[in-house]
Amino acid sequence: MKEFLYFDKEKLSPEDFNRSLMFGEGAFETFRFKQKLPVFIDRHLQRLKSTCKFLDIKYPGDFYIETTVDKVVKNHKSEHFNNVIKDLVIKVALFSSGGSSYFDKSEKTTLCVSIKEEDSATKETISLGLSKQKVSSNDIFNSHKTTNYLLNSIERRAAKLNNFDDSLLINEKNIVVESTSGNFFWIKGTNVFTPSIETGALNGITRNLVLEVCKNNKIRVIEDEFEPGSIIFPEAMFITNAVRGIVEVSNLNNTTQSTRTQNLYPTIKRGLLELLEWT
């Protein structure tokens, strides 16, 4: 799938994003653009702003980012899609530039907008392997999406080599955290289970929407620490993220499969898609 990158300047040199290039000092957010900015764009921008503050890099402002994305998408559709509205995946990245030593301060940021057409051939269900590398539940980066995503990249590639679609990350206590691409849930009986944020899981935007759906439907959610072996005979397993929304997991490490006697999953999926206005 071809990717297009748009920067907020016509001509760029490595100095325009040297600190992101050399040290991974940058922030990003990814979301679907289904004819318009996502309903919860404010939550994405709030997290982006929080990460910029954490990294001590400049944030260009909500209005600038929103108007730039709108303009870029409009121009892109005109050039590549004959103005036909498409379902797009947008990544907004803020690249940092400044002093060339790792201890120097960032001096400016460059906004990069990545556009990809949503892949209609994406699988309806996926399989998960278990990660070999352990993540730290106390890592200060757990609540941020930075341009250093190496662990996720390495584990996703390893999963692919072992004929899985994704990898379920495990922390130093052998506790389930999340997949490399989203938060992890499973259903058993009348309960929904998900790793707590304290495990090292990202406090995902779509994760919180699922929690809202469960609350609205009086579905009990148990957020806690769970070992992989405790996931026994789940009726459904799924991951959530801002690009796919919700994706069912059919197989966990070739040892756990959904019984698919699912009563709650359709309710949760329907409620989430309604909140996202994807229906």
Domain of 166, CATH number, reads 3.20.10.10
Residue range of the domain that includes 90: 4-117
- The dihedral over CA atoms of 268, 272, 277, 279, expressed in degrees to the nearest 10, equals -30
pLDDT string in tens for the chain (279-residue length): 566 767 765 556 667 778 998 899 999 999 999 989 999 999 999 999 999 999 999 999 999 999 999 999 988 876 666 666 678 999 999 999 988 888 999 999 999 999 998 876 678 899 999 999 999 999 999 999 999 999 999 999 999 999 999 999 999 999 999 999 999 999 999 999 999 999 999 999 999 999 999 999 999 999 999 999 999 999 999 999 999 999 999 999 998 888 777 689 999 999 999 999 998
Instruction: Tell me, yes or no, whether 103 and 133 share the same domain.
Output: no
User: For residue 74, how far is the Cα from the chain centroid?
Assistant: 24
Instruction: Tell me, yes or no, whether 214 and 134 share the same domain.
Output: yes
Q: Which of 63, 85, 117 lies at the terminal end of a domain, its last residue? A: 117
Instruction: Tell me, yes or no, whether 129 and 213 share the same domain.
Output: yes
Instruction: Tell me, yes or no, whether 136 and 271 share the same domain.
Output: yes
Instruction: Tell me, yes or no, whether 27 and 132 share the same domain.
Output: no
Instruction: Tell me, yes or no, whether 178 and 81 share the same domain.
Output: no
Instruction: Tell me, yes or no, whether 113 and 131 share the same domain.
Output: no
Which 8-state DSSP code applies to residue 278? -
User: For residue 209, how far is the Cα from the chain centroid?
Assistant: 13
Q: At what angle do helices 41-55 and 62-80 cross, to 10 degrees?
A: 120
Run of H or E including 55: helix 41-55
Cβ within 8 Å of residue 261, ≥6 positions away: 235
Q: What is the CATH number of the domain that holds 109?
A: 3.30.470.10
Which tokens go with 218?
Answer: 């009086």
Instruction: Tell me, yes or no, whether 131 and 96 share the same domain.
Output: no
Return the amino acid letter for 76.
H
Q: Which of 99, 117, 135 lies at the terminal end of a domain, its last residue? A: 117
Mark out the alpha helices in 199-264 (DSSP H runs): 205-216
Quick check: helix, strand or coil at residue 90?
A: strand
Instruction: Tell me, yes or no, whether 105 and 157 share the same domain.
Output: no
**How many independent structural domains does the chain possess?**
2
Instruction: Tell me, yes or no, whether 27 and 84 share the same domain.
Output: yes
Q: Which of 96, 117, 138 lies at the terminal end of a domain, its last residue? A: 117
